[in-house]
């Protein structure tokens, strides 16, 4: 089990910008978005552990997002409208950011990590209450199936790998 303690790698300001980015990548609609599902906690755990080498890219990228927002719109990224945020992020996605050559790499890394945080095993800090799995009807780690579920919707509650049910207890 991964420790979800307060091993914050990012500052409060960096986390706030990251939350605003995650909210545009996987926004809240009639269902929870990345922030509610725990993607930010997943990223913090990952940056404190296996993804530690990516922490400098995150820091540089988040500062570049803030600079880009201020240069384009005269306001902090978190204060922009959704359309303005999307415009800033599109420039990152396409690598069209002056003064930050790693813009596209940064955007793709964050996008990938946000999605990992939404759909990962909950033990890694994201996918709170298996919400991500419920959104796509993924049953998680089941011991077995009564019938073959090939090309059929699985009507089972999700089970995380570290739950007693998955371990046959």
| pTM score, whole prediction | 0.84
Residue (of 45, 18, 52, 37) closest to 124 by Cα position: 45
Mean pLDDT over residues 126-136, rounded? Answer: 94
pLDDT (0 to 100) of residue 8: 84
Angle among Cα 42, 47, 53 to the nearest 5 degrees reads 150
Residue (of 72, 78, 119) closest to 96 by Cα position: 72
Is the pLDDT at 3 greater than 50, yes or no?
no
Task: Find the helix or strand (DSSP H, E) in which 24 lies.
Answer: helix 12-25
Asked whether the beta carbons of 39 and 117 are under 8 A apart, the reply is: yes
Tokens of residue 48, six digits: 């404190």
Is the pLDDT at 1 greater than 50, yes or no?
no
Is the pLDDT at 109 greater than 90, yes or no?
yes
38 to each of 5, 70, 116, how far by Cα in Å? Answer: 14, 28, 10
Residue-range domain boundaries for the chain: 12-135, 137-169
DSSP string computed for 101-157: TTHHHHHHHHHHHHHHHHHS-GGGS-SGGGHHHHHTT--BS-S--SS--TTS---S-
Is the pLDDT at 2 greater than 70, yes or no?
no
**pLDDT > 70: percent of the chain:** 83
Residue 67: Cβ-neighbour burial (10 angstroms; 0-12, 13-18, 19+)? middle
pLDDT (0 to 100) of residue 59: 97
């Amino acid at each position: 089990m991964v420790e979800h303690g307060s091993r914050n790698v990012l500052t409060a300001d960096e986390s706030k910008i990251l939350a605003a980015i995650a909210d545009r990548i996987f926004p809240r609609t009639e269902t929870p978005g990345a922030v509610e599902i725990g993607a930010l906690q997943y990223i913090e755990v990952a940056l404190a552990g296996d993804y530690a080498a990516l922490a400098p890219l995150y820091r540089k990228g988040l500062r570049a997002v803030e600079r880009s927002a201020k240069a384009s719109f005269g306001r902090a990224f978190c204060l922009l409208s959704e359309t303005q945020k999307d415009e800033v992020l599109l420039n990152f996605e396409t690598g069209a950011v002056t003064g930050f050559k790693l813009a596209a790499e940064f955007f793709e890394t964050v996008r990938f990590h946000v999605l990992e945080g939404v759909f990962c095993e909950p033990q890694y800090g994201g996918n709170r209450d298996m919400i991500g799995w419920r959104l796509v009807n993924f049953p998680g780690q089941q011991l077995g199936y009564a019938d073959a579920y090939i090309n059929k919707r699985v009507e089972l509650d999700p089970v995380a790998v570290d739950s007693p049910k998955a371990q046959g207890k």
